[in-house]
Amino acid sequence: MSTRTLRVCPKGHKYYKTGDCPVCPICERVRQPYADFLKHIGAPARRALESKGIDTLFKPSKLSEQDLLKLHGLGPGSLPKLRKALKEKGYSFKKS
Ligand SMILES: [Zn+2]
């Protein structure tokens, strides 16, 4: 017998789950496109983004391209790839 229980993930999402699986479906949905996005950029750029706490696609969309270029590890060569990857997910960089 399984009962659906209300859970709250560390980020405050409320969701119902059966069984013991602790994965929050809302966090998963946010993380998935971001993981795709990161595939387009190199490891130094990825670390730069993560060091700024940019861990969802929503956050790069808050930055302008100039802001991103200030991050160590992110060169102008990464920008077209990032722009395209964001666009595919329905986001874009902040207009500077
Ligand atoms: Zn969550």
State in Å: Cα 23 to ligand 1 middle: 8
State in Å: Cα 63 to ligand 1 middle: 23
State in Å: Cα 72 to ligand 1 middle: 29
State in Å: Cα 10 to ligand 1 middle: 6
Q: What is the pLDDT of residues 47-87, one digit of tens each?
A: 888 888 877 766 767 788 888 888 877 778 878 888 887 88
State in Å: Cα 30 to ligand 1 middle: 9
Q: Which long-range contacts (CB under 8 A, 24 or more apart) does 71-75 make?
A: 71/45, 72/44, 72/48, 73/42, 73/44, 73/45, 73/46, 73/47, 73/48, 74/41, 74/44, 74/45, 74/48, 74/49, 75/45
- Note if the pTM is more than 0.75: no
State in Å: Cα 9 to ligand 1 middle: 5
Tell me which fold the domain 27-88 belongs to: DNA polymerase; domain 1 (1.10.150)
State in Å: Cα 43 to ligand 1 middle: 25
Every domain of the chain and the residues it spans: 27-88
Calpha distance 92→7 (Å, rounded):
32
Q: What is the pLDDT of residues 1-52, one digit of tens each?
A: 567 889 999 889 999 888 777 788 888 887 777 777 777 777 888 888 888 8
Calpha distance 48→50 (Å, rounded):
6
What's the token pair of residue 53? 């706490």
